[in-house]
Amino acid sequence: MRISSNTLFDSNVTLLGQQQTRLLQTQQQIASGRRILAASDDPVAAARALEIGQSDTMNTQYAVNRTAARHKLSLAESNLQSVTSLLQDVRTAVVGAGNGTFNNNDRQTIAADLSGRLQELTGLANSTDGAGNYLFAGFQSKTQPFVNTAAGVGYFGDDGQQNMQVSATRQIASGDSGSDVFMRVKNGNGTFVAQAAATNAGTGVISQGSVTNPAALVAGNSYSISFGLVAGVMNYTVTGAPVALAAPVTGVYVSGQTIGFDGMQLDIQGMPAVTDTFTVTPSANESVFKTISDLISALDTPTVGANLTNSLNNGLNQLDNALNNILTVRSSLGLRLNEIDALQSAGEDLGLQFKQNLSELQDVDYNKAISDLTQQQMSLQAAQQTFAKVAGLSLFDYL
């Protein structure tokens, strides 16, 4: 087959160009440290690298979310730790106020201290994350949640709980609603609350009582315990409303005796007066702010005896309920912080795995690349030298 000079030149130029292209590509790989410079270099590896890169980007964003969530949860836990200490101090002060040697002036001094504590508690409840977002406002993070009003401290946030995506399959609440933390604290023993009437004149002090038979409880029912003399002997009578007791509950009153009805029991210490009454009503939500406000009012009112004792006992019980509620929230915060730490560790391991996979797909093997570059240089030089010899052949050299 006859090969023209044009064909010889065109073919060699094309082959030399291809070799130069491969040499340039290898040089670029070594210079950039990347094996894949374009998707056409290795379509399968390029697609896989794109997929892994996207996953790595998402994992990085989850790490940012975890850091933000941990910051908010840590701030909330720190604030609630301060609230716990504050409530414990208030409880200590209230226990001290029950000292029989204290007079009205002493109790009013304690009330003034509790007023300061109430303001401090309101400040803690209105804490922010440092960026102007209130920690305990629910979704209304830009609205001050707790405000002093004529009716007491009111809540102006909502019940929302902000969630953050901290992994591909997990969302974690980055805070708690202020209503759940400070406002919704069940009074009494959580089922019912036993209280003395403010007009009681005797020395009777009622306990918070307990539930003995949950199945026998009458939902929403209230009770009144009244006293009267029968043949010169003090008797008690329990009445229910709106549902009356199935059988009369009455008897001779003895200080400290257990009085039971409709699955509940309680006791009264001391000697009530004939006109004294005690009520038993279903437990309701009471804010920790109202609890402290009621204690301040009780200590500010010049009074002694059973009325003060009943008020302080009720306040102490409610402080305990508030403390238990705060500790429950703190426990939940601690569990979420622990989970975030575990997810962060897993996320870091996953990030290393993604980077290792990307390196295997994209990064240059320098030993192989340098070897290829040397071989390509030799091949190009050999091709150029042989082409020069072939191109120089001519019959005229032999004439």
Asked whether residue 167 falls in the same domain as residue 230, the answer is no
Asked whether residue 101 falls in the same domain as residue 204, the answer is no
pTM of whole model > 0.85? Answer: no
CB 336 within 8 A of CB 175: no
Asked whether residue 221 falls in the same domain as residue 178, the answer is no
Asked whether residue 202 falls in the same domain as residue 165, the answer is no
pLDDT value of position 278: 96
pLDDT value of position 19: 63
Per the structure, the complete domain to which residue 60 belongs is given by 55-187+318-350
Asked whether residue 80 falls in the same domain as residue 143, the answer is yes
Asked which of 283, 309, 341 is the last residue of a domain, the reply is: 283
Task: Point out the residues of the chain with pLDDT beneath 50.
Answer: none
Domain membership of residue 302 (yes or no) is no
Domain membership of residue 268 (yes or no) is yes
Domain membership of residue 67 (yes or no) is yes
pLDDT value of position 256: 94
237-286 confidence digits (pLDDT tens) = 999 999 999 888 999 999 999 999 999 999 999 999 998 999 999 999 99
Which among 291, 298, 345 has a CA at the least distance from the CA of 315? 291
Asked whether residue 66 falls in the same domain as residue 182, the answer is yes
Asked whether residue 62 falls in the same domain as residue 173, the answer is yes
Domain membership of residue 294 (yes or no) is no
Asked which of 259, 283, 307 is the last residue of a domain, the reply is: 283
pLDDT value of position 334: 94
28-55 confidence digits (pLDDT tens) = 666 655 655 555 555 666 677 678 778 8
Domain membership of residue 123 (yes or no) is yes
Domain membership of residue 38 (yes or no) is no
Asked whether residue 262 falls in the same domain as residue 343, the answer is no
SS3 per residue for the chain: CCCCHHHHHHHHHHHHHHHHHHHHHHHHHHHHCECCCCHHHCHHHHHHHHHHHHHHHHHHHHHHHHHHHHHHHHHHHHHHHHHHHHHHHHHHHHHHHCCCCCCHHHHHHHHHHHHHHHHHHHHHHCCECCCCCECCCCCCCCCCCEEEECCEEEECCCCCCCEEEEECCEEEECCCCHHHHHHCEECCCCCEEEEECCCCCCCCEECCCEECCHHHCCCCCEEEEEEEEECCEEEEEEEEECCCCCCCEEEECCCCCEEEECCEEEEEECCCCCCCEEEEEECCEECHHHHHHHHHHHHHCCCCCHHHHHHHHHHHHHHHHHHHHHHHHHHHHHHHHHHHHHHHHHHHHHHHHHHHHHHHHHECCHHHHHHHHHHHHHHHHHHHHHHHHHHCCCHHHHC
Domain membership of residue 7 (yes or no) is no
pLDDT value of position 22: 64
Domain membership of residue 243 (yes or no) is yes
Asked whether residue 154 falls in the same domain as residue 115, the answer is yes
Asked whether residue 182 falls in the same domain as residue 62, the answer is yes
Residue 62 belongs to domain with CATH number: 1.20.1330.10
The domain total for the chain is 2
pLDDT value of position 21: 63
Asked which of 228, 257, 283 is the last residue of a domain, the reply is: 283
Asked whether residue 152 falls in the same domain as residue 254, the answer is no
Asked whether residue 78 falls in the same domain as residue 182, the answer is yes
